């Protein structure tokens, strides 16, 4: 066998191996010349597109399979990422377009285009693609599930707030009034028994003090369930009250700056923002080890922005990503339900900053 025959045999074997490689993969693969015409196509690509290989060879692939967007609008060649690869020799990966079958139906694809370069010049391209119909369907189902879960969360939060209001009202009106009645009866009893023995008098004073403490506990519990100031005066006074109560209870210095007189928010949005604020302060007590908290409430770009910054140990990336950080997840969900957002940032030893933004309602000009 001569060297020429051996070289020809090697060339034929390489061509056979390349063909076997193209046909053994489940991905669609086709080649293009400089003008975008098909130079080769494997069986997987032909099967997905509904054409025979002969029907596509030497044909303009953009006009055949990539001519329109998912909504049917003409997809101009000048905007096509594959033809950008032919133009500048840079590879690209796309997963938000469709290919069109011979029968006129489309399917979502993920494709990568790679330039073919010979002697420093782009002479064509190779395109590898997958039918991602199942993936897109799964993504749509997942998105729908997330939306349903978010709606369920919103409903559960609404029901929980309604129950809190009801329980707080019952505690305040029923139990509070009953205890006030007991307090009055004790006072009358003490007036009617002015000359009782000192032990009896001391016992009555003790009972009276216990009733007073219980009345204060009832008021505190009712307020924790649903602060009256939030319903009667609105979000801004409620933020002021909660800040003062937090500082009095924990001894942590709070610096509050409010740069607006009123907030145009629905009751639902006001409640959500207030509950987020409460959760932030709870996290400061439980985790931050802070001595000072700076709180800012202001309007920015059509949204109400609450920023709380402490001088504690600082939240870590691990804590932010931890699945057990349900408080952070709850705050994020509350904000998202209202079209808002929340961000957490912090570094070890330099404190944590939480920034909440909720869109403000546009006032009516009627």
Average pLDDT on 306-322 reads 88
Domain spanning 3-131: CATH 3.30.450.20: yes
Average pLDDT on 94-116 reads 95
- Residue 25: pLDDT band (50, 70, 90) is confident
pLDDT tens figures, 44-92: 999 999 999 999 999 999 999 999 998 889 999 999 999 999 999 999 9
10, pLDDT greater than 70:
no
Neighbouring C-beta atoms of residue 305, cutoff 10 Å: 18
Cα torsion through 14, 19, 25, 27, rounded to 10: 120
What's the token pair of residue 114? 């790679």
Instruction: Single out the residue of 103, 162, 108 nearest to residue 135, CA to CA.
Output: 108
- pLDDT attached to residue 4: 64
Contact 307, 354 (CB under 8 A): yes
363, pLDDT greater than 80:
no
Helix or strand run (H / E) with residue 281: helix 267-283
Residue boundaries of the structural domains of the chain: 3-131, 138-224, 232-359
Pairing state of beta strands 292-300 and 253-258?
A: parallel
Domain spanning 232-359: CATH 3.40.50.20: no
Instruction: Single out the residue of 165, 148, 123, 158 nearest to residue 39, CA to CA.
Output: 123
- Residue 144: pLDDT band (50, 70, 90) is confident
The radius of gyration of the chain from alpha carbons, rounded to an integer in Å, stands at 35
Contacts of 277 (CB under 8 A, 6+ apart): 239, 242, 306, 308, 356
366, pLDDT greater than 50:
no
């Amino acid at each position: 066998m001569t060297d020429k025959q051996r070289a020809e045999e090697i060339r034929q074997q390489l061509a056979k191996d390349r063909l076997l490689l193209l046909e053994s993969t489940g991905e669609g693969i086709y080649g293009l010349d400089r003008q975008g015409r098909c130079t080769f196509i494997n069986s997987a690509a032909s099967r997905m597109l509904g054409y025979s290989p002969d029907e596509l060879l030497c044909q303009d692939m953009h006009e055949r399979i990539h001519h329109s967007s998912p909504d049917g609008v003409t997809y101009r060649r000048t905007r096509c990422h594959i033809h950008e690869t032919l133009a500048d020799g840079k590879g690209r990966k796309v997963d938000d377009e469709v290919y069109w079958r011979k029968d006129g139906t489309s399917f979502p694809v993920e494709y990568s285009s790679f330039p073919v370069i010979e002697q420093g010049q782009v002479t064509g391209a190779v395109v590898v693609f997958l039918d991602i119909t199942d993936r897109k369907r799964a993504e749509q189902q997942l998105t729908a599930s997330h939306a349903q879960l978010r709606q369920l969360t919103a409903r559960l939060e609404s029901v929980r707030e309604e129950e809190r209001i009801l329980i707080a009202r019952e505690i305040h009106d029923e139990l509070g009034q009953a205890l006030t009645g007991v307090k009055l009866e004790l006072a009358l009893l003490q007036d009617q028994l002015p000359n009782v023995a000192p032990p009896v008098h001391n016992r009555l004073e003790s009972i009276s003090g216990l009733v007073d403490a219980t009345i204060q506990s009832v008021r505190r519990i009712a307020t924790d369930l649903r602060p009256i100031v939030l319903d009667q005066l609105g979000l801004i006074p409620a933020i002021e009250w909660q800040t003062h109560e937090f500082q009095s209870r924990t001894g942590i210095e709070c610096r509050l700056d409010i740069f607006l007189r009123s907030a145009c928010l629905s009751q639902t949005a006001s409640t959500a923002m207030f509950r987020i604020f409460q959760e932030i302060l709870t996290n400061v007590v439980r985790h931050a080890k802070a001595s000072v908290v700076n709180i800012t409430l202001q309007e920015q770009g059509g949204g109400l922005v609450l920023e709380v910054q402490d001088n504690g140990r600082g939240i870590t990336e691990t804590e932010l990503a931890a699945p057990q950080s349900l408080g952070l997840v709850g705050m994020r969900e509350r904000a998202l339900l209202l079209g808002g957002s929340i961000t957490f940032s912090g570094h070890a030893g330099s404190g944590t900053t939480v920034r909440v933004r909720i869109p403000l309602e546009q006032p009516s000009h009627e």
